[in-house]
Each structure stands twice: as structure tokens, then as C-alpha cells.
Amino acid sequence: AQKVTQAQTEISVVEKEDVTLDCVYETRDTTYYLFWYKQPPSGELVFLIRRNSFDEQNEISGRYSWNFQKSTSSFNFTITASQVVDSAVYFCALSRPGTGFQKLVFGTGTRLLVSP
Amino acid sequence: GAGVSQSPSNKVTEKGKDVELRCDPISGHTALYWYRQRLGQGLEFLIYFQGNSAPDKSGLPSDRFSAERTGESVSTLTIQRTQQEDSAVYLCASSLVPQVTPNTEAFFGQGTRLTVV
């Protein structure tokens, strides 16, 4: 069975602080995808990143970076120099390649509050 | 349209009443998904449509829930005899093709927040 755990329910930081959102996953598959989505107050889920299980390189996109470690089954997300606009709920998700998006397994989300 | 559109954005209904939620997917997207998001929870899959194939209803929690989609257009999710535990945000998504690949993505609507009182 597949499972995604986001142990941090809510994190509050002050603008310009760095913050890391944790994601731990469980799967018996050797090939899988990991995702991060952002859900701003408007409600829609916004795709941030997809990572293939064969690619353990860390990725940086502007202020965002992701640390994928298969040894610990973690795919953590760091926001550097956080901004108020980063306030949202962030979801980590897991999928088997080739399966449908309906099979995405989501974590319970981490609410990030960035105050000025 | 430019994105996935859902209506209404908010719905308050009395327990026992039926409600209908609407999703207008991105034009040309063959796959459409309904998810439920309860307060403080992740997304739960409800139902999936792919073209003219029979829908995957494996996520529907009870027979009070049903959904329809005509071809590759609008979908409606109907909840009959609503209960308080049905209160949640109902999210719709669509994708050009159904499979998760390096080059495909599901696009989500803003959801309908349903409150059953």
C-alpha cells in the first residue's frame, strides 16, 4: 500500500525566514513519482514539482528547493526567504508511473502561514 | 476555457436535501476527476471519467453520490439526501491524457465548498 505522511499540520514563520516542509512516503514500488502541490486560499491546487524515483538529484527553482532522499523515503520542500504570498496549504503526493491521476495518494497537507 | 471552472464556489444546504455540483474542464481534456477534501485532510478520490469509457466510481463513498459527464464536456456531481459528514470542499481536475507521465499534468479547479447544516 502507498502512504504519504506530512507530520507538520501548520507552520508559522515571519517573512524572510527559511522554512522546510517535510514529506515521508511509503511504497513497495521501485518506480514511482512524487509531487508537491500548493493550495492557496483561492482553493485550486497548483502543481509545483514532479520527481521520478530514479532521479535523486535535488532541484532548485528560484526560492524553492526539494531534497529527495530514497534512503529515508523523504521528499522535503524548502522555501528560502519566505514571502507572505507563500501562505498556503502544501500537499505532497505519490503515484505509480503510467497510472492515472485518480490514483494519486495525497498527504494531509501542511498549512504555511507567513506573516509580514 | 483557460482553466477548470467549478460552480457554485460555495453551497450551504440543509441536511436531507440534494445538491448538484458542476465542473467545466479544460477544453480538449479527455480525463476528468472528482476529489473530496475534508477539513484538515488530503484529497480523496471520488470518481474518474475518461472519454466515453465507463467511469471509475471506486471512490464514491455511498450510493447517495453519483456523477455524470457527457462526452468530454461538463460533469456534474450529485449528492442526494445530504448528511453533515458530506461537508467538504469538492475539487474537480482534468488532464489531457489520464496517465501520469513526465509530461502530463492534472489541472484543478478552485473547488466547491459544501456545508450541510
A30-72: pLDDT as tens digits: 889 999 999 999 888 999 998 889 888 888 889 999 999 999 9
Give the closest-approach CA distance of A104 to chain B in angstroms.
8
The reply to whether omega before B98 is within 30° of 0 (cis) is: no
Selecting from A42, A47, A100 the residue whose C-beta is nearest the C-beta of B31 gives A100
What are the b/e assignments for B94-110, b being 16+ CB within 10 Å? bbeebbbeeeeebbbbb
Contact of B28 with B96, CB cutoff 8 Å: yes
CA geometry: angle A59, A85, A74, nearest 5 deg: 35
Cβ of residue A3 closer than 8 Å to a chain B Cβ: no
pLDDT, mean of residues A2-8 = 94
Q: What is the largest CA-CA distance in chain A?
A: 43
Cβ of residue B88 closer than 8 Å to a chain A Cβ: no
Chain B residue at shortest CA distance from A52: B102
From first CA to last CA, the distance across chain A in angstroms is 41
Phi, psi of A70 (to 5 degrees): -65, -30
Within 13 Å of residue B49, how many CA atoms lie on the same side as its CB? Answer: 24
Answer yes or no: do B101 and A97 touch at CB < 8 A. Answer: yes
Cβ of residue A40 closer than 8 Å to a chain B Cβ: no
Give the closest-approach CA distance of A45 to chain B in angstroms.
6
Q: Which of A23, A52, A102, A110 to mutate to test the interface with B (most CBs of B within 10 A)?
A: A102
How confident is the model over B16-34, as pLDDT tens digits? Answer: 999 999 999 999 898 999 9
Whether the per-residue pLDDT at B114 is higher than 80: the answer is yes
Check residue B16 and give its pLDDT: 97
Residues of B in contact with A9 (CB under 8 A): 40
Cell digits of residue A54: 530514479
Distances in Å between the Cα of A101 and the Cα atoms of A3, A10, B44, B46, B91 are 15, 26, 12, 12, 13
Selecting from B41, B56, B109 the residue whose C-beta is nearest the C-beta of A102 gives B56
Whether the per-residue pLDDT at B1 is higher than 70: the answer is no
**Dist CA B35 CA A83 (whole Å):** 29
Chain A residue at shortest CA distance from B95: A101
Chain B residue at shortest CA distance from A100: B99
Answer yes or no: do A104 and B109 touch at CB < 8 A. Answer: no
**Dist CA B7 CA B23 (whole Å):** 7
For chain B, what percent of residues have pLDDT higher than 70? 99
Give the closest-approach CA distance of A77 to chain B in angstroms.
17
